[in-house]
Copies of this chain bind each other. A is one copy, B any other.
Amino acid sequence: MGTQKYQAIREAAYEANMQLPALGLVIFTFGNVSAADRDAGVFAIKPSGVPYTELSPDKMVIVDFDGKVVAGDLRPSSDTLTHAVLYKHWAHIGGIVHTHSTYATAWAQSLRDIPIYGTTHADHNTLDIPCAPPMPDELIAGNYEYQTGFQIMNALAERNLTYEDMEMVLVGNHAPFTWGSTPAKAVYNSAVLESIAQMAYLTESINLRASRLKDSLIKKHYERKHGPDSYYGQ
């Protein structure tokens, strides 16, 4: 019954989680995706520490936006409270992804924003990808995963960005989080971020003085995909 009730988000979360190893974004259990049901006020998330090869839709754990387990036999991802905080504060997202993908994580470990160097980046957003600085020690020792949600929101707020302007953030010294209107879109954003992160690393290696993309090109590429007169897609 509980299973049937949440069947759609269990399946969406399962499918999206399985995309992570298929896209080369995780090994072993290094990542998790959740899928929200806004009407029910809950999300389905990967169980903690379970390998992708052993996942199935019915193993997903159903959690409310305060982080309380509502259905499911397994313990949810240790990052569950971060997902809960973001769902609670961001009314229009339907999926969240956390990975330790190689290049994005290296930028996070470097404590640097990823500069916008080209149109691959500008096709998706118009600004450097923010790297949130590590949180103060007293918050780390406290409710860490809950605070990680606020750390992500603060990184956007400090740059005057909404979660719709920027669907990806690096948590400093840790790794990326991405989100989107659906779990599939959030996974797409994770793969795009990894690609942007690799290209930016190579760009600086090839030209130490590489400069950011100029505003006219940022605007053009972003708007042809996302502006009111966009002409990309069907």
Taking a contact as CB atoms under 8 Å apart, the answer to whether A134 and B214 are in contact is yes
Q: A74-B234, A206-B204, A232-B78 are in contact. Are A118 and B144 (CB under 8 A)?
A: no
Tell yes or no: A117 within 8 A of B by CB. yes
Residues of A140-193 contacting chain B, CB below 8 A: 140-141, 144, 173-175, 188, 191-192
Kindly identify which residue among B23, B49, B232 contacts A234, using a CB–CB cutoff of 8 Å.
B49
Minimal Cβ-Cβ distance residue in B for A108: B118
Taking a contact as CB atoms under 8 Å apart, the answer to whether B103 and A120 are in contact is no
Minimal Cβ-Cβ distance residue in B for A118: B109
Taking a contact as CB atoms under 8 Å apart, the answer to whether A140 and B206 are in contact is no
CA distance A30 to B137 in the complex (A): 42
What distance in Å separates the Cβ of A153 from its nearest Cβ neighbour in chain B?
19
Taking a contact as CB atoms under 8 Å apart, the answer to whether B224 and A175 are in contact is no
Kindly identify which residue among B191, B207, B213, B220 contacts A112, using a CB–CB cutoff of 8 Å.
B207
Oligomer copy total:
4
Tell yes or no: A106 within 8 A of B by CB. yes
Interface locus among A5-13, A85-93, A195-203: A195-203
Taking a contact as CB atoms under 8 Å apart, the answer to whether B102 and A199 are in contact is yes
- What are 11 A-B residue pairs whose CB atoms fall within 8 Å in the complex? A100-B120, A100-B195, A105-B120, A105-B199, A108-B118, A119-B173, A119-B175, A134-B217, A140-B217, A144-B224, A174-B217
Chain A contact residues, CB within 8 Å of chain B? 23, 27-28, 30, 47-50, 74-75, 78, 100, 102-103, 105-112, 117-120, 134, 137, 140-141, 144, 173-175, 188, 191-192, 195, 198-207, 210-211, 213-214, 216-217, 220, 224-225, 231-234
Q: A140-B217, A140-B220 are in contact. List 16 more A-B contacts (CB 8 A).
A: A48-B233, A49-B234, A78-B225, A102-B195, A102-B198, A105-B199, A106-B202, A108-B118, A109-B117, A109-B118, A109-B210, A110-B206, A118-B175, A119-B175, A120-B175, A144-B224
